[in-house]
């Protein structure tokens, strides 16, 4: 009597496993197709069909799903594990854009130096190296009500000054900069008066969004305390014209500036766009672009349901739908901006350096369009996910430093000290 029962149980088990195997195979194939779609992102122009901008958000779920399927097939000693492995192998150039497992000896040198408050002898410092910072300072809003803990510095202005003093960068691209406004700290005067920050020249914007050049040397002469507009007009820095200036994008450099300018990229009310300068680096001339592309305009409270995985109630669902609509709309605008930027880059007579806040996923149509033949400092020398958005949203590496391959990237660091809704990037370039 036992044998028929055993046979019946075995038959039921086989039937169940066959059903599960068919289901798992179907899931595995769907995950594989989804990942292939992610790989195709550089060719999926969101201007054609804006929801394509959401494909990139599936990368990590698809990656986890493919790995899980591969493990299950291996445990069952089933050859279907090759489905996942083959698809993952096809993305060997894509995965390093999202995460990087570099085992290089370079540590968080600048982060530690900032914490300890001094410049260490092991920080890169050579005439054949150039240090570059890209940082969205968030209008110097810190401290604000959203910050949950005290910091060693009292304000984001003080952090920026300390960052510049410790790193001593050659090129600094800032976004969401503000100064000389009644309810904001006087950032520029603080920069001018700091003894460790002498010799910087600033390229900025006045209230009319005209680009200008201004020496920040604390020991400036009467003439050097005048800014030069793109058209050659000079305006005194203490005039009413400048005391109402609120900024937006700023470039700082200790290298000679040969030419400069600013271009709005289709957002008249936005303080971003494209600022550029031709910089003399030793025997090289570099065209440097500082970018601030269209924001998704997602407020921190809107991210609450996503962080807490509270997706059940109607309010959360409406909030999430609103976030998706914002992402789709801004992605279409960023794609248009990317084409304008690429056209400008193609006309450059010099090698290119790009810094800035792209407000987009690291593997997106916009980022790939702008990067094109440039090297990404994170892909070359970064670690982990490299997140630069400081409000806890995963996979948001939205700030970048990109350089012509003729300038080797020697290090890349995300300074994970939170004095803005972004973390600063520091890259060391060579020649």
Contacts for 97 with CB less than 8 Å, ≥ 6 apart: 362, 363, 376, 379
pLDDT for the residue 5: 56
User: Between 309 and 350, where is the model more confident?
Assistant: 350
Do 87 and 202 lie in one domain? The reply is no
Cα dist from 66 to 36, 84, 89, 362, whole Å: 12, 5, 12, 21
**Last residue within a domain, chosen from 67, 92, 117:** 92
Q: Is the pLDDT of residue 111 over 60?
A: yes
pTM: 0.86
pLDDT for the residue 29: 97
Number of domains composing the chain: 2
Residue 102 inside a domain? The answer is: no
Do 124 and 47 lie in one domain? The reply is no
Q: What CATH number corresponds to the domain at position 371?
A: 3.60.10.10
Do 136 and 38 lie in one domain? The reply is no
Do 146 and 88 lie in one domain? The reply is no
Do 275 and 391 lie in one domain? The reply is yes
What are 58-67's pLDDT values in tens digits?
999 999 999 9
Range of the domain at 274: 107-430
Work out the average pLDDT over 22-47. 94
Do 276 and 420 lie in one domain? The reply is yes
**Last residue within a domain, chosen from 66, 92, 118:** 92
- Kindly report whether the peptide bond that precedes residue 17 is cis, defined as omega within 30 degrees of 0: no
Do 30 and 149 lie in one domain? The reply is no
What does DSSP assign to residue 325? H
Q: Is the pLDDT of residue 1 over 80?
A: no
Do 284 and 398 lie in one domain? The reply is yes
Quick one: which of 78, 198, 124, 10 has its CA closest to 430?
124
What are 318-375's pLDDT values in tens digits?
766 777 777 888 889 999 999 999 999 999 999 999 999 999 999 999 999 999 999 9
**Which long-range contacts (C-beta less than 8 Å, at least 24 apart) are formed by 162-166?**
162/114, 162/117, 163/110, 163/114, 163/133, 163/135, 163/415, 163/424, 164/133, 164/191, 164/196, 164/197, 164/252, 165/119, 165/194, 165/196, 165/197, 166/110, 166/113, 166/114, 166/117, 166/118, 166/119
Do 285 and 213 lie in one domain? The reply is yes
Q: How many CA atoms lie within 13 A of 322 on its CB side?
A: 14
What are 115-137's pLDDT values in tens digits?
876 654 455 555 678 999 999 99
**Last residue within a domain, chosen from 63, 92, 121:** 92
């Amino acid at each position: 009597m036992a044998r028929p029962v055993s046979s019946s149980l075995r038959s039921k088990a086989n039937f169940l496993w066959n059903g599960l195997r068919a289901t798992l195979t179907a899931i595995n194939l769907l995950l594989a197709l989804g990942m292939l779609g992610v790989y195709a992102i550089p060719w999926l122009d969101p201007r054609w069909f804006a929801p394509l901008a959401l494909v990139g958000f599936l990368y990590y779920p698809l990656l986890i799903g493919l790995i899980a399927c591969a493990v299950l097939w291996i445990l069952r000693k089933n050859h279907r594990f090759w489905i996942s492995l083959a698809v993952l192998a096809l993305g060997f150039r894509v995965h390093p854009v999202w995460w990087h497992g570099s085992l290089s000896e370079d540590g968080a040198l600048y982060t530690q130096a900032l914490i300890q408050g001094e410049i260490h002898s092991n920080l890169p410092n050579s005439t054949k190296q150039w240090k570059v910072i890209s940082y969205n300072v968030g209008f110097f809003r810190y401290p604000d009500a959203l910050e949950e803990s005290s910091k060693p510095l009292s304000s984001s202005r003080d952090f920026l000054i300390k960052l510049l003093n410790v790193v001593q960068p050659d090129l600094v691209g800032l976004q969401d900069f503000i100064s000389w406004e009644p309810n904001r700290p006087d950032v520029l005067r603080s920069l001018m008066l700091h003894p460790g920050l002498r010799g910087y020249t600033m390229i900025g914007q006045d209230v009319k969004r005209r680009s200008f050049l201004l020496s920040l040397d604390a020991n400036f002469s009467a003439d050097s305390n005048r800014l030069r507009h793109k058209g050659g007009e000079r305006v005194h820095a203490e005039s009413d014209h400048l005391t109402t200036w609120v900024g937006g994008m700023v470039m700082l450099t200790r290298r000679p500036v040969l030419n400069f300018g600013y271009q709005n990229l289709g957002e008249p009310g936005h303080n971003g766009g494209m600022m550029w300068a031709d910089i003399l680096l030793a025997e090289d001339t570099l065209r440097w672009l500082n970018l601030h592309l269209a924001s998704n305009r997602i407020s921190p409270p809107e991210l609450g349901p996503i962080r807490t995985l509270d997706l059940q109630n109607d309010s959360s669902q409406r909030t999430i739908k609103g976030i998706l609509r914002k992402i789709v709309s801004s992605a279409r605008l960023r794609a248009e901006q990317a084409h304008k930027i690429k056209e400008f880059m193609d006309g450059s007579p010099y090698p290119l350096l790009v810094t800035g806040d792209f407000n987009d996923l690291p593997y997106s149509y916009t980022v790939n369009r702008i990067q094109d033949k440039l090297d990404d400092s994170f892909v070359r020398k970064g670690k982990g996910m490299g997140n630069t958005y400081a409000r806890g949203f995963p996979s948001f590496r939205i700030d970048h430093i990109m350089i012509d391959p003729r300038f080797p990237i020697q290090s890349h660091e995300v300074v994970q000290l939170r004095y803005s809704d972004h973390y600063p990037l520091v890259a060391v370039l060579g020649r």
